[in-house]
Amino acid sequence: METELTIARTLQGQCDNERAADSAVVLTHTSPKWSGKVHLSSGEEVSFTKKDLIPALRSGILADALQPNDKIDLNSLDEKGNNVIKTMSLLDFTKSDFSLRILFQPVWSYAMAGLKWGAIIGAGLKLIETTISLGMVNPGLAVLFVIAIGACFIPRIGFVAVIILSILMTKFTGANLFLMGLTSALTGAILGCLPGMFVGGLIGRIKKDPMNCARDLSAEPTSVVLKAIVLPFAGAVALILFYVLVFNQWLIQVLSS
């Protein structure tokens, strides 16, 4: 924490007098430890370790001492022990860390996070709904369905195990539990991704203020509201209505025939 505060004060002091437009961050990787320096336009250097890297960059960005186009040199060792240098912009580097990415692209970053979590939550809810529906018709099959889904989370052999279990269970139950679970999960993910993206984009728009973001938000165009909030909302409504009014009705007719 002391290191983070020191870096923040140093960077803030620099940007009070001038924008450090040519500042750069140099990271050095000597396995298994990382170290680095923030080079300011004044020639001053601030050192930090891997633990302090993200807080240091956040402090510099929020203090307006680091800009999206500032260059970062990444020094790492390849498998043969040779030093490899990779240069990228600060904006490109932030794509590897959510806490940094939201400083330059808050709406889009939260929208993408919402897309992912919406798909995960949607898949989970749909699997729960399928389990309950099976339990109302055949409690024993519902138990086997839960076992098959649980087998997917066994490290390394999860999907192989569930396929084998499904083949064995199909012979005794007449139902392909693997296909049933996969279909349910995909359906839930499809139904949940757009609502999740809409909610995430809305959160990002609410959090988009000078206190929580970089001053230079040119990396995020004004059209992001349309792409991250308006279109996902319209798509989510249309998709859910199609599922309830069209797909479900078709499925009921197929199962009853």
pLDDT (tens digit, 9 = 90+) per residue, 61-85? 888 777 787 777 666 666 776 766 6
Q: What is the helix (H) or strand (E) element at residue 24, kind and residue range?
A: strand 24-30
Q: What are the percentages of helix, strand and coil residues in the chain, rounded to 5?
A: 65, 15, 25
Q: Which residues of 118-138 are buried (b: 16+ CB within 10 A; e: fewer)?
A: bbbbbbeebbeebbeebeeee
> 49 and 35 in contact (C-beta within 8 Å)?
yes
8 Å CB contact between 180 and 186: no
The domain ranges of the chain are 2-104, 106-256
pLDDT exceeds 50 at position 188: yes
**Segment among 55-59, 168-172, 199-203 with least mean pLDDT:** 168-172
* DSSP code for 138: -
Average pLDDT over residues 231-248: 91
- Split at pLDDT 50, 70, 90, the class of 14 is very low
Q: Which of 66, 90, 54 minimizes the C-alpha distance to 15?
A: 66
Rounded CA gap, 31 and 33, in Å? 5
Tell me the C-alpha to C-alpha distance, in Å, between residue 204 and each of 105, 110, 112, 199.
Answer: 9, 5, 10, 9
Q: Is the pLDDT score of 227 beyond 90?
A: yes
Determine the Cα–Cα distance for residues 180 and 144; give it in Å rounded to an integer. 12
Task: Give pLDDT, residue 182.
Answer: 85
Segment (H or E) for 5 = helix 2-17
- pTM higher than 0.95: no
Neighbouring residues of 243: CB distance < 8 A, sequence distance ≥ 6 = 187, 191
Lowest average pLDDT, out of 4-13, 87-96, 130-139, 227-236, goes to: 4-13
Query: Rounded to whole angstroms, how far apart are CA atoms 20 and 237?
Result: 46
